[in-house]
Chains A and B, each alone.
Chain A
Amino acid sequence: MRTVGRILPVFAGLLIVLTYLLVRGATPDAALHERTLAALQALILNDAALHRDVLRARAGLLRNYDPLVQSVAGLRAAVNDLAAVRAIASDEASEEIGDRLAGLAAAVAEQEDLVERFKSDNALLQNSLSYFIHASHEFGRRAEDASAAQAVGALANGMLRFTSDPSAEAAAEVTVGLDHLASLPPAPTSATDTRALVAHGRLIVSAQPAVDGVVRRLLAAPVGPRARLLQDLYLDSHGRAVARAGIYRVLLYAAAVVLAGYLGYLFLRLRANARSLEARLHLESLIAEISTRFINLPRDRLGEGMSQGLAALAGHAAVDRAYILLRGSDGVGPVSDYRWQRGGLPAADAASDRDLLEMAFGWSPAGYERQACIHVPGVTELPAGAEKAVLSRRGIRSWLCIPLWRAGRRVGLLGLDAVRDAKSWPDDDIALLRTAGEIFLNALERARTDSERDALEVRLRQAQRIEAIGTLAGGIAHNFNNILGAILGYSEMALGRLPKDSGAWRQIQEVRKAGRRAKDLVDQILTFGRHGGHGHVPVQMPALVTEAVSLLRVSLPATVEIGTWIQTDAAVVPGDAAQLQQVIMNLCTNAAQAMDGRGTVDIALNVIELDAPRMLSHGNLAAGCYVRLAVADSGHGMDARTLERIFEPFFTTKPPGVGTGLGLASVHGIVADHGGALNVRSRPGAGSTFEVYLAATDAAGLVEERPQAPAPIGRGETVLLVDDDRPLMLLGEEMLAALGYEPAGFDSSPQALAAFRADPARFDLVLADQVMPEMTGSELAAAVHALRPDLPIILVTGYGTPVATDGLRAAGVREVLRKPLSSAELAGTLARHLGPGARPAAPSPPARLSHVR
């Protein structure tokens, strides 16, 4: 519709111009021209003929007036014909020609009148002349009247002179002669003749001058000259008309040539359009084909499909490189393996790709955006700058960059490089290529979501298995715990009753040792099965790592080196410091074992900021700030199958007896309990990296939120500490000292009793382990109680509830604590039993809590 509206006026205008040229270019009507010329010629010829015939008639040579009539009729017809002259002479001469024609018509009409008069008068004159000559001759011949004859003879002479020279004198002379003849007495025989002679003679005298006058006027009549003038004028005008028509014909020819050229141009344009349409169709079908191929493409062949698609695209667009660059999910550097390039071109390196990506995302030169794409037909014409440098470095002549968008974020680009020849892309092609880019991106997205889904499924399976095993193990562990309590309790009691170093005592002692090992195991099981983040406090991870490393250096073989990469000093997570320390210890122990006790374990700690959710091998992370703890070994690594199961309880790859299959399970349990996530990367023979992500927190904010009752602090009261396990005894001493007490530690109950006996008043409280070889805690308590009944005695046991409470109370035992001792529990208990003397601790920053720092 719009096209028709535009074309119609052009068409109409063209038609008008061509018609105008045709009309103006037409030669004046040839037939009309001939007719006009013939009429003009007839005028001239008839006029000439008329003149001739008039003269002949006057001379008496022509006695027939038909030729005169014919000439006059010819003149009249020619004048009528010439009416056409006005129509044929279209230019400025037209008016003049009309005037001339009117003049000519008037002249012809005048001529006609003169001819009529001439015919009438000449007829009389000729008749009278012939009669006069004949009659005067007869008179002379008869000569019967001499005087009359003489008079007639004189008259005839006068008449002869008059007819040859009709002057007034001659006329007068003839008149005198006629009067004389008329006055003569008529002869009886010739009276009639005489009268007739006189009458005719008088007629000659009067008619001849009149006739001659008419003839003179006829000969002077301007018909012929006027006709010639008109003819000249007409021919002149006609010549101009023909010349003008010639010019218009040339113009018409030029218009035809222009139109033919335009037609050719239209044809070429049509053909070009058809070709470009064909190319576009081809591109469309190509894109459809790529799209179809992606739909049915298995994920593992995605890369191949991408390469093929890019190759097809590049082949169609006749470019030398086609590639897809995607920004890495951590926002650094491009991640892309999808590219195609013409053979013989140097491959672009990763740095170049990164530069290109950053340059494209930060594109600044104006005037190169087309349809939200960057279209650079000529790199050399770019203004000097980073963009030009990057593109030139890659040897690009023409560049088309199609940004790829995901959820409103620009994630990468589809790039087309023309290296050999410069190239420009039409708008329609760019639109199609954008579609192609979306298809590529969608295929990648689909592959990504597919793999995420698969990973989620795997993890779900893992989690279910871990939970199932955990629940099962937890249930069993609880029951075992009770059973073990009984076993250990009765073992201790039996030990107390059996003579030392007896066979039974030694055997019971072994039972007790085995029971304790079983108890440790059960405790571990209970650890990963436990849920709920109770008692989480802000934990300074760098300090924790440092502490753990110092412990590890002691416990791990000297052949294992430990490298620490602590990149932050302000990484705080809410959690249980002991558990978190266990995580570090377990991971490192595991790493050392994976290297067969030889190699380097790298521990890295940093804080990362995630601006998008991220999927890990074991768990997901929402966007946010995380503390990342990574433990990497250079060990033998794991295959995917192993990797899938490593956090399962009781799963181990170690020989029976070496591993319990609980270390990593505990790590998983603790991390899950802290709301963290694990990521494991490992390949057989290339080592493994375990990453722990824990939500970072603002230390100050967290403490404010969770105020803790200040731990009661002692005032230097002396506490008798007894534990046969020397390290534990030393640990206890430190704890007590930290709580503001004066610890007095012994690793043997008899020595402790001896020291008490030496100075009973020195001690304010006794803290004793129940299970000790020489003397149990309760035995010691009884002895001490006997010496100082007021002294508060606290037993510590690792085996649940002590068996005989009543006996213990009798022995002066005020309370039984469960191993392992926690500082807070200890502080509370001591404060409780040291009576009103125990005062609340002065307000102190939580950072100073002993178990934290």
Chain B
Amino acid sequence: MARDAPIRRTPAGRRLAAATLSGLFVLGLIALWTSATGQDQADRFGGEPITPVPLMTALDPARVRLGEKLFHDAALSRGDLVSCASCHLLAHGGDDDRAHHMGADGRPLDFNAPTIFNVTLNARFNWRGNFQELERQNQAALLDPRLMNMTWHELLPKLRANPDYRSAFAEAYGADPEPRSLLDALAAFERSLLTPNARFDRYLRGERGAITAAEARGYSLFKSYGCVACHQGVNVGGNLFQKFGIFEDPFARRAAVTEADLGRFTITGAATDRHVFRVPSLRNVALTAPYFHDGSAATLEQAVAIMGRSQLGRTIPAADIEEIVAFLRTLTGEYRGRLLDASKERAGP
């Protein structure tokens, strides 16, 4: 009966349906317009496949402050050994400069630490893209025995015993520390970690002189070689999966293929996901060496060359690589009004 009962069965229902439908129509128009602006986002910046990092975010300052404090607090790990910032050095590039950070069990971690900057612009997180929400990602890192090695039973009393945290949580959430509020605060802080105003972004916004002619040529090469097929969007990547090794298997010459090398396959178990990784963002890429999931490429030039061979089926000449790398360096943005420190770039491994 419910299936067949028409809305117009009662006058009230008919009027309501009419009102609802007209409301929906208006809503639809608005949604179409906003959707169109999303579509126009790319067109607005000269139809380029890359768009600039937004200049501002709307976040609760109290929560961001609390998140920052938590982010830097080693108390979040068992034995007060490490904090989030131990691997994601904000002064560095949002990651560390090692291929593998040491795990809590004393063995090196499986993956190279990805940068925390602009993390919210990614569609998925981590190399395998196994998280779509920052809070879940953070909880996993917190409770992972090889990472923070913490439990809620241990962490919450610890935080509640701390007057600073009690007052900070009370200010931000009006309550004592809880898993939900702690994860929210951390995520709020992480969402604030945007690096706008990269020179390339300024170029996209119409500041023609923001990049040099060589860098502009690098961008052209970036597009013409096909890098931009995957590294596009606001975060120059981070929004799709791709197999590592389309035209040439990068693992072929390796002595042993690690489990980490299998990529997303370890999550889904699908044969088509073998060696499939999330395409990483190239924002601030000049600061995040070493490269790739295993940190196997020490420099950008190496990374670009490997990418050209394995992903594009091309051997990119050194001059082109140089120009492409020059372009990549224009993607370094500002954090809290200051350009991220490029000196670290030279302090590679």
A70 touches B38 (CB 8 A): yes
Give 1 or 0 for each of A53-96: 1 = CB within 8 Å of chain B CB: 10000000011111111101100100000000000000111001
Q: Chain A: interface secondary structure?
A: helix
- In the complex, which residues 21-64 of chain B have their Cβ closer than 8 Å to any Cβ of chain A? 23-24, 27-28, 31-32, 35, 38-39, 41-42, 49-51
Residue from A53, A116, A240 within 8 A of B13 (CB atoms) = A240
B319 at the interface (CB under 8 A from A): no
Chain A binder among B222-230, B292-300, B336-344 = B222-230
Residues of B within 8 A of A73 (CB): 123
B12 touches A239 (CB 8 A): yes
Smallest CB–CB gap between A248 and chain B, Å?
A: 12
Q: Which residue of B lies closest to A95 (CB)?
A: B2
Count residues on chain B whose CB falls below 8 Å from chain A CBs. 50
A65 touches B246 (CB 8 A): no
A236 touches B5 (CB 8 A): yes
B243 at the interface (CB under 8 A from A): yes
B16 touches A116 (CB 8 A): no
Chain B binder among A125-133, A616-624, A714-722, A792-800 = A125-133
CA distance A37 to B23 in the complex (A): 9
B240 at the interface (CB under 8 A from A): yes
Residues of B within 8 A of A96 (CB): 2-3
B232 touches A64 (CB 8 A): yes
A41 touches B31 (CB 8 A): yes
Residue from A127, A235, A243, A246 within 8 A of B20 (CB atoms) = A235
Interface centre among A49, A52, A192 (most CB of B within 10 A): A49
Q: Decide yes or no: A63 and B39 within 8 Å by CB, A37-B20, A41-B31, A96-B3 being known contacts.
A: no
Residue from B35, B226, B230, B233 within 8 A of A131 (CB atoms) = B226
A124 at the interface (CB under 8 A from B): yes
Residue from A64, A72, A127, A203 within 8 A of B233 (CB atoms) = A64
A243 touches B10 (CB 8 A): yes
Interface centre among A76, A130, A239, A246 (most CB of B within 10 A): A239
A397 at the interface (CB under 8 A from B): no
A64 touches B13 (CB 8 A): no
CA distance A518 to B23 in the complex (A): 145
Residues of B within 8 A of A93 (CB): 2-3
Q: Which residue of A lies closest to B230 (CB)?
A: A123
B2 touches A45 (CB 8 A): no
B232 touches A65 (CB 8 A): yes
A120 touches B123 (CB 8 A): no
Smallest CB–CB gap between A761 and chain B, Å?
A: 153
A242 at the interface (CB under 8 A from B): yes
Q: Decide yes or no: A66 and B2 within 8 Å by CB, A41-B27, A120-B240, A246-B12 being known contacts.
A: no
B242 at the interface (CB under 8 A from A): yes
A116 touches B241 (CB 8 A): yes
CA distance A65 to B242 in the complex (A): 13
Residues of A within 8 A of B243 (CB): 120
B239 touches A66 (CB 8 A): yes
B6 touches A236 (CB 8 A): yes
A269 at the interface (CB under 8 A from B): no
Residues of B within 8 A of A240 (CB): 5, 9-10, 13
Smallest CB–CB gap between A136 and chain B, Å?
A: 15
Residues of A within 8 A of B232 (CB): 63-66
Q: Which residue of B lies closest to A27 (CB)?
A: B16
Residues of B within 8 A of A199 (CB): 247, 313
- In the complex, which residues 222-242 of chain A have their Cβ closer than 8 Å to any Cβ of chain B? 233, 235-240, 242
B13 touches A239 (CB 8 A): yes
B20 touches A45 (CB 8 A): no
CA distance A123 to B223 in the complex (A): 12
Residue from B17, B35, B226 within 8 A of A45 (CB atoms) = B35
Smallest CB–CB gap between A62 and chain B, Å?
A: 7
Residue from B12, B247, B312 within 8 A of A242 (CB atoms) = B12
A239 touches B233 (CB 8 A): no
B306 at the interface (CB under 8 A from A): no
Residues of A within 8 A of B246 (CB): 124, 203
A726 at the interface (CB under 8 A from B): no
Q: Decide yes or no: A127 and B24 within 8 Å by CB, A92-B1, A116-B241, A199-B247 being known contacts.
A: no
B175 at the interface (CB under 8 A from A): no
Residues of B within 8 A of A124 (CB): 229, 242, 246
A69 touches B224 (CB 8 A): no
Q: Which residue of B lies closest to A65 (CB)?
A: B239
A42 touches B2 (CB 8 A): no
B315 at the interface (CB under 8 A from A): yes
B7 at the interface (CB under 8 A from A): yes
CA distance A44 to B27 in the complex (A): 11
B159 at the interface (CB under 8 A from A): no
- In the complex, which residues 99-133 of chain A have their Cβ closer than 8 Å to any Cβ of chain B? 116, 119-120, 123-124, 126-128, 130-131
Interface centre among B9, B13, B24, B243 (most CB of A within 10 A): B13
Smallest CB–CB gap between A244 and chain B, Å?
A: 9
Q: Decide yes or no: A64 and B1 within 8 Å by CB, A38-B27, A123-B240, A203-B246 being known contacts.
A: no
Q: Which residue of A lies closest to B226 (CB)?
A: A127
Interface centre among A37, A69, A203 (most CB of B within 10 A): A69
Smallest CB–CB gap between A22 and chain B, Å?
A: 19
Residues of A within 8 A of B16 (CB): 238-239, 242
Smallest CB–CB gap between A116 and chain B, Å?
A: 6
CA distance A233 to B1 in the complex (A): 12
A67 touches B2 (CB 8 A): no
Residue from B12, B24, B226 within 8 A of A41 (CB atoms) = B24
B314 at the interface (CB under 8 A from A): yes
B262 at the interface (CB under 8 A from A): no
Smallest CB–CB gap between B88 and chain A, Å?
A: 23
B313 touches A53 (CB 8 A): no
Q: Which residue of A lies closest to B312 (CB)?
A: A127
Residue from A66, A192, A196, A237 within 8 A of B234 (CB atoms) = A66
CA distance A63 to B233 in the complex (A): 8
CA distance A644 to B60 in the complex (A): 123
Smallest CB–CB gap between B170 and chain A, Å?
A: 28
A66 touches B229 (CB 8 A): no
CA distance A130 to B229 in the complex (A): 10
CA distance A93 to B4 in the complex (A): 11
A832 at the interface (CB under 8 A from B): no
Residues of B within 8 A of A116 (CB): 240-241
Residues of B within 8 A of A134 (CB): 224
CA distance A92 to B42 in the complex (A): 47
B276 at the interface (CB under 8 A from A): yes
Smallest CB–CB gap between B128 and chain A, Å?
A: 13
Residue from A46, A52, A69 within 8 A of B239 (CB atoms) = A69
- In the complex, which residues 280-304 of chain A have their Cβ closer than 8 Å to any Cβ of chain B? none
Give 1 or 0 for each of B98-122: 1 = CB within 8 Å of chain A CB: 0000000000000000000000000
Give 1 or 0 for each of A126-164: 1 = CB within 8 Å of chain B CB: 111011001000000000000000000000000000000
B233 touches A45 (CB 8 A): no
Smallest CB–CB gap between B23 and chain A, Å?
A: 7
Q: Which residue of B lies closest to A38 (CB)?
A: B27
Residue from B2, B17, B24, B313 within 8 A of A91 (CB atoms) = B2
B313 touches A200 (CB 8 A): yes
Q: Which residue of A lies closest to B20 (CB)?
A: A235
Residues of A within 8 A of B313 (CB): 131, 195-196, 199-200, 203
Smallest CB–CB gap between B44 and chain A, Å?
A: 12
A120 touches B233 (CB 8 A): no
B12 touches A66 (CB 8 A): no
Residue from A46, A76, A123, A233 within 8 A of B229 (CB atoms) = A123
A67 touches B39 (CB 8 A): yes
Residues of B within 8 A of A128 (CB): 226
Give 1 or 0 for each of A448-491: 1 = CB within 8 Å of chain B CB: 00000000000000000000000000000000000000000000
10 contacts between A and B (CB under 8 A): A62-B42, A64-B49, A66-B239, A76-B132, A96-B2, A116-B241, A134-B224, A203-B246, A237-B2, A240-B10
With A120-B240, A242-B16 known, 10 other A-B pairs at CB within 8 A are A37-B27, A41-B28, A45-B35, A66-B42, A67-B39, A127-B226, A127-B312, A236-B2, A236-B7, A238-B16
Closest 8 CB pairs of A and B: A239-B13, A127-B226, A63-B49, A119-B240, A127-B229, A66-B233, A93-B2, A69-B123
